[in-house]
């Protein structure tokens, strides 16, 4: 028998995810782009999971991917629900790693978006933003209010079992239309932000001038050590690389000394 609290949270999260995908499809339709939400797809996959593979062969399951006219990923969108902040780090870290590795594999990706529902901590949000992920926040209070309009209590003490059981039963009795209304109400304050984020990526002129913002150099040694160097000028990166061309027996000291 499923845990009522977990079952209700998962059901609402899924319903909101479907509404997010509906919003995205409405935005991209005039541009002739494709919104992949998983499921069997002729010529693409037989299974149900929407998986993208990075350059090392690792697969990442993504909620929603907007593809350009050539079938290349253009926008990555995740929907993440958290009730308790103690679970923040795991979901935030996974999103950072997955989106970062996919963006370094597919240069066609112009934007990463995470719709955060529930109680997200400031450190977790800062972590995702540091990886270039656009955040759209749906506070826990907004979810509580949306459900209360349908006589469903969503705010209960962590150890309580009676309230979530009653709330889950009440939610199951709702019509599909009522469930869609809850999802729309949850996303009321984030809808326009999501639409604008999608549009900004679509309308980005590929021919506009681009400048180097940062160079990240990853060096892997024969001892399986990793050294990451960051530069903000091309000349600094080039000079550093040239400094490693000297014929020396051990680069360890040089790698650690350089910043």
CATH architecture, domain 4-202: 3-Layer(aba) Sandwich (3.40)
* Alpha-carbon distances, residue 6 vs 17, 148, 175 (angstroms): 16, 18, 20
Hey, where are the domains in the chain? 4-202, 215-257
pLDDT tens per residue, range 2-58: 799 999 999 999 999 999 999 999 999 999 999 999 998 888 888 889 999 999 899
Question: Cα 165–166–170 angle (5° rounding)?
Answer: 120
Name the most confidently modeled range: 186-190, 201-205, 248-252. 186-190
pLDDT tier for residue 88 given thresholds of 50, 70 and 90:
confident
pLDDT for 259: 45
pLDDT tier for residue 258 given thresholds of 50, 70 and 90:
very low
| Model pTM above 0.75 | yes
Q: Sheet holding 34-36: strands in order across?
A: 34-36, 64-67, 73-82, 111-118, 133-139
CB 202 within 8 A of CB 189: no
């Amino acid at each position: 028998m499923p845990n009522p609290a977990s079952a209700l949270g998962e059901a609402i999260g899924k319903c909101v995810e479907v509404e997010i995908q509906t919003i995205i499809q409405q935005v991209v339709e005039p541009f002739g782009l494709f919104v992949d939400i998983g499921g069997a797809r002729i010529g693409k996959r037989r299974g149900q999971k929407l998986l993208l593979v990075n350059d090392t062969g690792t697969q990442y399951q993504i909620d929603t991917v907007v593809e350009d006219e050539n079938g290349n990923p253009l926008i990555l969108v995740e929907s993440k629900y958290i009730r308790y902040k103690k679970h923040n780090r795991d979901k935030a870290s996974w999103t950072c790693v997955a989106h970062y590795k996919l963006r370094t594999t597919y240069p066609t990706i112009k934007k990463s978006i995470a719709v955060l529902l529930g109680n997200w901590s400031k450190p977790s949000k800062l972590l995702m933003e540091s990886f270039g992920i656009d955040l759209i926040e749906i506070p826990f209070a907004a979810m509580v209010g949306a459900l209360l309009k349908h006589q469903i209590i969503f705010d209960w003490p962590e150890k309580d079992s009676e309230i979530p059981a009653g709330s889950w039963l009440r939610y199951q009795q709702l019509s599909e239309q009522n469930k869609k209304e809850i999802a729309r109400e949850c996303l009321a304050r984030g809808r326009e932000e999501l639409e604008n984020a999608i549009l900004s990526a679509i309308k980005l002129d590929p021919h506009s001038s681009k400048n180097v913002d940062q160079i990240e150099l990853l060096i892997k040694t024969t001892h399986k050590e990793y050294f990451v160097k960051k530069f903000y000028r091309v000349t600094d990166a080039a000079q550093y690389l040239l400094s490693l061309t000297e014929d020396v027996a051990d680069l360890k000291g040089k790698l650690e000394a350089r910043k």
